[in-house]
Structure 1
Amino acid sequence: MTSAISIGISGLAGWRVLQRTETRQIEATAKDPVIQRATAYFRENLTSETTAADLVGDYKMLQVALAAFGLEDDLPNKAFIRKVLDSDTGDSKSLANRLSDKRYLKLAKEFQNLADTEATSNMVAEAYVQQQFQKRVGEGNEAYRLALNARKELQGFAARTSSDRTMWYEVMANETLREVFEGAFGFSSSIANLSVDRQLDEFMSASDRILGTSSFAEMSKPEVTDKLITRYLALSQMQTSVSSNRYSAALALLSR
């Protein structure tokens, strides 16, 4: 695959450059021969008869499917993924529904309804390219990868009918999305030591105070999402600068 996507500058200035060049960068990612082969293989082998066992048993197909949903780290956990795919998505007590990270439920739903394999293939291929783009951005700047992921996830929340409290629980269970909110709200890692309900109250209170809303219908609006990401990147850059200055100061003292 191609090398990491490097913007050349960091912080908010680099984020603005990334936004301006994003479409071109995604197109370049999609044209990568390795990615083209991966998506072509998936398209060629997905049929309306594809079962959970078929998908889990085909490493190449599974890698594309999981990566499309941001679950590539679960590639070695085939038995677990098989159980997720075989879950009854209509049963609130099934594994896919009980998992707090709802990406697994989305995965199960997508591959339990393969009546229109072309639509599924197109969706998975597009999502796979997006994830590979984010991955390459992350190799150059991890904060930008997290910001891109947060923007995408919040866009998806816009069409949801779940309650805001339910979606906040999902944010808290989604490691990459949670990191952006924690960073934007100035939370330390110690917040994880609080009870889940207390954490929820803290997240919602901070969102109302900083973003002006704790409603995902509002947060999914471009201007509010941009406010969240801008604050996250600004505070992230400040922390990086402080750490760098401390390191430089320590080196100066040691060199005396």
Structure 2
Amino acid sequence: MSAAIAVGLGGLAGWRVLQRMEARHVETTAKDPLVQRATGYFRENLTAATSAEDLVGDYKMLQVALGAFGLDKDAANKAFIRKVLESDLADTASLANRLGDKRYLKLAKAFQGRSNAGAASQAIAEAYVQRQFEKRVGEGNETYRLALNARNEVKAFAARASSDRTMWFEVLGNEPLRTVFAGAFGLNKAVANLPVDRQLELFMSASERVLGSSSFSKIADEASIDKLVTRYLALSQVQANTSSNRYAAAMTLLSRQR
């Protein structure tokens, strides 16, 4: 079990402290013997000749590849991951392109685009280290893990040529990212039961109201990302405090009835 990263504070104050400490903690995570062995093994064994079958058949390599994209829970779904890796990315009907969660598409692109295996393996290894850092933060505070992930994911949208609707659909299909947007917008979980087009309307409308725009060319800048994340953390803290107060009140009532 990796050591949890705790900052000693909660809410927005703790988030600011974590941001100042982030670079040092990422470096420490990269130097962890377990992480070093995992990334070292991956870099040594991923080559241009590595097939999808080879990758899913090597648990150590698969662990790093999936971990780099936050897909750790799919380690046992080898047949599914192999199909993702072997998808024809030029075919819009292929599995990787059809999946709502575009982390699978990113995994397939990284695997198939490794003409320079050394550069590809290094990029995946670095992403794995970042995810391991986020996991350790999450062991101390899950909302911070989600905030870190959202910050990095949304920042990457700025360089994308995809339409805003396409990227919003990606937000809806990516559960960790969706959680942050929904939390910041004050949208409850029941929204997920609505038709997807209606969900899209609600998220885009909320983005206009809260962030001032629903275009990722604007909301993927530093100021908007900071507003998104801090609003998510603030509302999460309010919700946690409310739940705690309700629990305390319930326990008080129960104690009086004894």
Q: CA contact under 8 A between 1:7 and 1:14: conserved in structure 2? A: yes
Structural mapping, 1:238-253, within 5 Å? 238-253=238-253
Q: Which residue of 2 aligns with 1:73?
A: 73
Write the distance in 2 (CA, Å) between the matches of 1:165 and 1:115.
Answer: 31
Task: Report the Cα distance in structure 1 between the residues aligned to 2:120 and 2:210, rounded to whole angstroms.
Answer: 38
In structure 1, what is the equivalent of residue 189 of structure 2?
189
Paired with 1:59 and 1:135, the residues of 2 have a C-alpha distance of 19
Supply the AA of the counterpart residue of 1:161.
A
Amino acid at match of 1:250: A
Question: Quick check: 1:191–1:199 contact (8 Å CA) kept in 2?
Answer: yes
Aligned to 2:149: 149
User: Is residue 9 from structure 1 mapped to residue 16 from structure 2 by the alignment?
Assistant: no
Aligned equivalents of 1:245, 1:115: Cα separation in 2 = 56
Aligned equivalents of 2:189, 2:147: Cα separation in 1: 19
Distance of 2:177 and 2:190 partners within structure 1: 17
CA shift, 1:29, in A, is 0.5
Secondary structure of the residue that 1:255 maps to in structure 2?
helix
Q: After superposition, what is the alpha-carbon deviation per residue over 1:1-22, rounded to whole angstroms, capped at 9, x for unaligned?
A: 5410011110000000000100
| TM-score of the aligned structures, taking structure 1 as reference length | 0.98
1:108 equivalent to 2:108? Answer: yes
**Divergent runs of 4+, >6 A:** none
Alignment of 1:85-100 (within 5 A): 85-100=85-100
Q: Quick check: 1:127 aligned with 2:127? A: yes
Cα RMSD, aligned residues only: 0.8
Distance across 1 between alignment mates of 2:195 and 2:113: 37
Displacement of 1:217 after TM fit? 1.1
How big is each residue's C-alpha offset from its partner over 1:103-146, in whole Å with a ceiling of 9 and x where there is no partner? 11111111113220111111011000000000000000000000
TM-score by length of 2: 0.98
The percent of aligned pairs where both chains have the same amino acid is: 68
Cα separation, 1, equivalents of 2:112 and 2:190? 39
Partner of 1:158: 158
Q: Distance in 1 between matches of 2:91 and 2:2?
A: 43
Give the number of aligned pairs. 256
Shift of 1:255: 1.4
1: CA distance, partners of 2:144 / 2:40 = 28
Aligned residue number for residue 224 of structure 2: 224
Instruction: Kindly indicate whether the alpha-carbon contact (under 8 Å) linking 1:87 and 1:108 is maintained by their aligned counterparts in 2.
Output: yes
Structure 1 residues 79-113: Cα deviation after superposition (integer angstroms, max 9, x where no partner)? 00000011000111111111111111111111113
Amino acid at match of 2:170: E
CA distance in 1, matches of 2:253, 2:62: 52
| 1:31-50 superposed matches below 5 A | 31-50=31-50
Partner of 1:24: 24
**Structure 2 portions without partners, runs of 5+:** none
- The answer for the alignment partner of 2:233 in structure 1 is 233
Quote the offset at 1:219 in angstroms: 1.2
Note the 1:57-68 alignment, pairs <5 A.
57-68=57-68
* Cα distance in 2, alignment partners of residues 115 and 254 from structure 1: 65
CA–CA separation in structure 2 for the residues paired with 1:195 and 1:94: 23
* Greater Cα offset, 66-75 or 110-119: 110-119
- Tell me if structure 2 keeps the 8 A contact 1:2–1:32: no
> How far is the alpha carbon of 1:250 from its aligned partner?
1.0
